Chain A
Amino acid sequence: MFGVRKESTDSLTRRDFGKAMLGGVSVFALRSAIAGAQAPKPNRSFINGVQFGLQPFCYHDLAMTRENRGELIQRLVRNGMGMVELHATWVEPRFNEPGVSVAAARDRLREWRLTPPPGYYLGVRKELDSAGISVFTYYVNFDDSYTDAEFDAVFRGAQILGAHGCVGSFGLELSRRLVPFPGRHGMFIGLHNHDNLSDPDAYSSEASMVKGLSMSPDFKMMLDVRHFTAADGDCVGFLERHHERMAGMHVGDRRKHNGRSAPFGEGDAPIIELLRMVRDNRWPIVALLEFEHGTLRPEVEEVDLMFDYCKRAVA
């Protein structure tokens, strides 16, 4: 449906096979589960030609931990979301405990990623599947501390979760290192912009994003509409010019000139125009709601309100 995932069950590696056997899961079952993710499913947040999803950062009151994943899934269902950008912290254990140094915790996380418990990612996948939620992208804070093997391990896990790509807030320099990885797994890397125009390494201007996209055909833009607006970018022009290289958008509102976040419609982001462009051109660009404005309401209710705004935009 999205035209962004070339990967098939053939991409199962020897490591996957070994893990599946160790975990008592037949490789056939593993292949079936992964193949199942490819099959088109009715998605409750596909509305009038636009696939919506949520970046659950919006649930500001809910710590992004794997212990809270059950609550997250319940909230996504209550909000009528069938697609999510899942941050790795909803999946992975945390090793930052009292008495454990930051470096030691980082090493233990790497070790866990390289040898996750057999069937672990499949178990998470089943939780999401049974609630009718598919993972569009897996958000990972890639940085220089990653080894190449760790990059591969993260992609493998994301793939089992059903993700089409991995997204992160890294810069141009790290992007160069990431070039070989997504293709190996039949996935994409989503470049995510912020509004930092003063850092030459950051994705913030159109030029910086074009530069990043030129590094690999497996790089797609996950345009953050809020941050691009705050960086005085032209969101509509960007979508018009680069829609073929866009996998998704983080949809939210902010004011220009590094302005504050605002409820949808109260800032300068052209949310309605962008959603209608996606709808009317039938572009397979996923609209992931993400907001940072404050509210006194429960977050589920706030997500409902922002989602309603988007639904009206594409009605």
Chain B
Amino acid sequence: MKRLLVPGCVLLFTASLAAQTATHRSYDTAFLGPPMADPVLQHAKETFVLFGCGYCHGVNLVSRGEATDLMHSALVGSDENGNRIGPLLRAGIPQTAKLSPMPQFSDLSDKQIAAIVTWIHYARRKGRFQELTAASVQSGDAAAGKTYFDRACSSCHAIDRDLAGIGNKYDAAALRAAVLDPKGLKVELSFTVDRIKDTKITTAQQRHHALLENYSVDDVANLVAYLASSR
């Protein structure tokens, strides 16, 4: 009995210590949401919040008050890896009669700026995805979809090659889901030395992410109409 009692006590003590540690972690789950599984994204989110961005722009980019709506900002939509957001963060925006100032963040490291940019783009994609999927599936203009496809997609895809007959395989709802969130790109970042395959996926992910951040409801409907015409 004693043999069982001692390890049992140790286990109980350890469990109680773990519980205490958990309760001592001061993380405002109610405001920030539960910690994310992806440590890179969690770090990005924490950086965004810690430097005060979330109080004006919203933790998930649901703008609070008069701050710029980053979910729909054209500047954010055209940003590539912080090339537009980074300089703006460092310089700040002076107040005008109609615009509140944004402080300058000149003392942040490049990594901190990159983390903020990462969160802005991630949260924007999440938000835009929700907006676009909440819209009812509408019939689009296949010709306009072709124009969009030629401009934005044709460097990687063609409907007479990798996407041949895609209109036979999927209905409009499934096509829309594939346009907004391609399954083949749901791959976690790899930190193995040999990352050739990952580089390809990362490039594809970046391109699709950029599209998702800028699609309008009409763009998606037109693209779906064009893809559905490939039979």
Q: Is the CB of A196 within 8 A of B27?
A: no
Q: Is the CB of A261 within 8 A of B32?
A: no
Q: Is the CB of A195 within 8 A of B49?
A: no
A201 — which chain B residues lie within 8 A by C-beta? 97
Q: Is the CB of B46 within 8 A of A296?
A: yes
Which residues of chain B have a CB within 8 Å of any CB of chain A?
26-28, 30-32, 46, 48-55, 92, 94-97, 101, 103-107
Q: Is the CB of B107 within 8 A of A295?
A: no
Q: Is the CB of B103 within 8 A of A198?
A: no
Q: Is the CB of B104 within 8 A of A258?
A: yes
CA distance A199 to B48 in the complex (A): 29
Q: Is the CB of B52 within 8 A of A260?
A: yes
A196 — which chain B residues lie within 8 A by C-beta? 94-95, 101
Q: Is the CB of B104 within 8 A of A194?
A: no
Q: Is the CB of B96 within 8 A of A198?
A: yes
Q: Is the CB of B103 within 8 A of A294?
A: no
Q: Which of A193-242 contact B (CB under 8 A)?
A: 194-196, 198-199, 201-202, 230
Pick the contact of A260 from B27, B95, B105 — CB < 8 Å? B105
Pick the contact of A295 from B50, B96, B101 — CB < 8 Å? B50
CA distance A61 to B64 in the complex (A): 11
B101 — which chain A residues lie within 8 A by C-beta? 194-196, 258
Question: Closest approach, in angstroms, between the C-beta of B179 and any C-beta of chain A?
Answer: 31
Q: Is the CB of B26 within 8 A of A202?
A: no
A292 — which chain B residues lie within 8 A by C-beta? 52, 55
Main DSSP-derived SS at the A contact region: loop
Cβ-Cβ contact count across A and B, 8 Å cutoff: 77
Cβ-closest chain A residue relative to B103: A260
Question: Closest approach, in angstroms, between the C-beta of A266 and any C-beta of chain B?
Answer: 10
Q: Is the CB of A294 within 8 A of B49?
A: yes
Q: Which of A285-299 contact B (CB under 8 A)?
A: 292-299
Q: Is the CB of B31 within 8 A of A261?
A: no
Q: Is the CB of A198 within 8 A of B95?
A: yes
CA distance A297 to B26 in the complex (A): 5
Q: Does A87 reach chain B (CB closer than 8 Å)?
A: no
Question: Closest approach, in angstroms, between the C-beta of B167 and any C-beta of chain A?
Answer: 39
B104 — which chain A residues lie within 8 A by C-beta? 257-260
Cβ-closest chain A residue relative to B102: A258
Q: Is the CB of B92 within 8 A of A258?
A: yes
Q: Which of A237-257 contact B (CB under 8 A)?
A: 254-255, 257
CA distance A196 to B97 in the complex (A): 9
B30 — which chain A residues lie within 8 A by C-beta? 61, 298
Whether A255 touches B107, Cβ cut-off 8 Å, given contacts A261-B52, A293-B52, A294-B49, is yes
